[in-house]
Amino acid sequence: MNTKDGIVKENLCPANLAFYKKNGYLIAPQLFSNDFIQELKEETNAIFSGKRGKVEGVINLEPNLSEKEILSRYAAIHFPHKISPIMKQGASDTKIANLLSKLVSPNVKCLQTMLFVKGPGKKGQAWHQDEFFIPTRDRSLTGVWMALENADIENGCLWVIPGSHKDGIIKERIANTNDQFADLETLDTKPYTEKDFQPVPVKSGDVIIFDGYLLHMSLGNMSKDRFRRALVGHYCSAESMLPWDQDGRQSPTQDFRDIFMVSGVDPYAYKGVEDLSKPFVRPDVLDFKKKKS
Ligand SMILES: O=C(O)CCC(=O)C(=O)O
């Protein structure tokens, strides 16, 4: 594998496309300017302090807390774009949309954002495939992981198993025994072994794009004092209806319509869009089998 082919320069080149097909991910360096990263970081503080509106699970904070105290409370918040135009702007960035329009479909919709801070001592997310949680009809689910600061092995960067997306199979879920993971379940990663597990360290402003069937995870943040802020967007082809109930948070549906377009046209525009997703704090223990009662 020539890892250089996995780095996008100005535009996607044929070597990038071949790398993505074979390995299931790409890195686009320095997509966001330092100024915009700074804005996103400040907005993260505002969201985590509850200043941008209701986030289920955020408790009212005492005034005058330091940034560190605010960010240390929770590892991540889902759907920040619902209360923050700047987060929505990040997830709709034209450079990202342009890449997705070539990798996924000319018509691309965004259905979820997640804002990670993952401070020192916080756990990572076990091996998983995003399509398990967010099923599309055409296997087009794609994750975009936007680094708001440098992420490396020490502070819990993303890890992938290159090529694991290719057979398009949802792997068996088994009990997790790794205490670096927040989850009760992980994946049976066989036939892959540790030598296939690859960290994807990135710099602030870099973006990782990955296939919804790619096996990926992150370990705990083992640093003493470094956060690992990242904005993540999930996208799919606008042609795919979206039978996604958000692990029981939403009613069963054939086509979840709380989406926004980032590229092209929406073939289902006649259905309109709905306001359904509600921002919430990611629990410290992740039990995805639990359904809404
Ligand atoms: O950044 C992380 O810790 C996990 C992110 C992830 O698994 C995802 O975006 O699907």
Residue 256 vs residues 111, 245, 259, 271, 272: alpha-carbon distances, Å: 9, 8, 8, 10, 11
Q: Taking Cα atoms as reference points, which of 136, 233, 247 lies closest to residue 183? A: 247
Can you state the percent helix, strand and coil of the chain, rounding each to 5? 20, 20, 55
How remote is the CA of residue 235 from the centroid of ligand 1, in Å? Answer: 14
CA 218 to ligand 1: nearest atom: 3
Model confidence band, residue 181 (pLDDT cutoffs 50, 70, 90) = very high
**Is the predicted pLDDT of residue 210 greater than 80, yes or no?**
yes
Calpha distance 79→291 (Å, rounded) = 19
Q: What is the mean pLDDT of the chain?
A: 94
The pLDDT value given to residue 1: 66
Q: How far is the CA of 218 from the centre of ligand 1 (A)?
A: 7
Q: Is the bond leading into 191 cis (omega within 30 degrees of zero)?
A: yes
- Do 234 and 141 contact (CB within 8 A), yes or no? yes
- What pLDDT score does 82 carry? 98
Among 208, 236, 157, smallest CA distance to 6 is for: 208
- Choice from 25, 145, 180 to test ligand 1 binding pocket (greatest atom count within 8 A of CB): 145
Scored b (16 or more CB within 10 A) or e, 138-175 reads ebbbbbbbbbbbbbeebbbbbbbbbbbbeeeeebebee
Asked if the model's pLDDT at residue 292 lies above 50, the reply is no
- Which residue lies with its CA nearest to atom 3 of ligand 1? 218
- 118 Cα nearest atom in ligand 1: 3
Q: Please give the distance, rounded to the nearest whole angstrom, from the Cα atom of residue 216 to the centre of ligand 1.
A: 8
Which tokens belong to 233? 């967007």
Can you give the pTM of this predicted structure? 0.95
What pLDDT, on the 0 to 100 scale, is given for residue 65? 85
Answer for the pair 143, 129: CB distance below 8 angstroms, yes or no: no
What residue owns the CA closest to ligand 1's atom 10?
130
Homologous superfamily (CATH) for 3-59+66-281: q2cbj1_9rhob like domain (2.60.120.620)
Task: Determine the Cα–Cα distance for residues 283 and 268; give it in Å rounded to an integer.
Answer: 33
* Reported confidence tier of residue 286, pLDDT bands at 50, 70, 90: low
Tell me the β-bridge partners of 200.
158
- Dist. CA 2–CA 221, nearest whole Å: 29
232 alpha carbon to ligand 1 midpoint, in Å? 7
For the cut 80, the answer to whether the pLDDT of residue 219 exceeds it is yes
Mean pLDDT of 187-213: 97
Average pLDDT over residues 153-178: 97
What spacing in Å lies between the alpha carbon of 112 and ligand 1's midpoint? 12
Structure tokens of 241? 């209806």
Which sequence spans correspond to the domains of the chain? 3-59+66-281
**Ligand 1 centre from 109 Cα, in Å?**
19
Question: What does the pLDDT read at residue 288?
Answer: 65
Mutate to test the pocket of ligand 1, among 115, 200, 218, 221 (most ligand atoms within 8 A of CB): 218
Q: How confident is the model at residue 171 (pLDDT cuts 50, 70, 90)?
A: very high
Q: Which atom of ligand 1 is nearest to the CA of 234?
A: 9
Average pLDDT over residues 113-128: 96
Measured CA to CA, the distance from residue 211 to residue 178 in angstroms comes to: 24
Per-residue confidence (pLDDT) for residue 284, from 0 to 100: 73
Return the structure tokens found at 263. Answer: 């590229």
Q: Whose Cα sits closest to atom 2 in ligand 1?
A: 218
Whether the Cβ atoms of residue 149 and residue 204 lie closer than 8 Å to each other = yes
Sequential DSSP letters for 85-126: HHHHHHHT-HHHHHHHHHHT-SSEEEEEEEEE---TT--B--
Residue 2: the pLDDT is 80
Residue 289: what pLDDT? 61
User: Distance, CA 165 to ligand 1 centroid (Å)?
Assistant: 16
Ligand 1 pocket, residues with Cβ under 6 angstroms: 116, 124-125, 130, 143, 145, 158, 216, 218, 230, 232
Each residue's pLDDT tens digit, 246-284: 999 999 999 999 999 999 999 999 999 999 999 999 877
Atom of ligand 1 nearest to the CA of 230: 1
Q: What is the DSSP letter of 138?
A: S
Confidence (pLDDT) at 293: 39
Q: Dihedral of CA 121/231/218/128: which sign?
A: positive
* DSSP 3-state of 20: helix
6-57, pLDDT tens digit by residue? 999 988 999 999 999 999 999 999 999 999 999 999 999 999 988 999 999 8
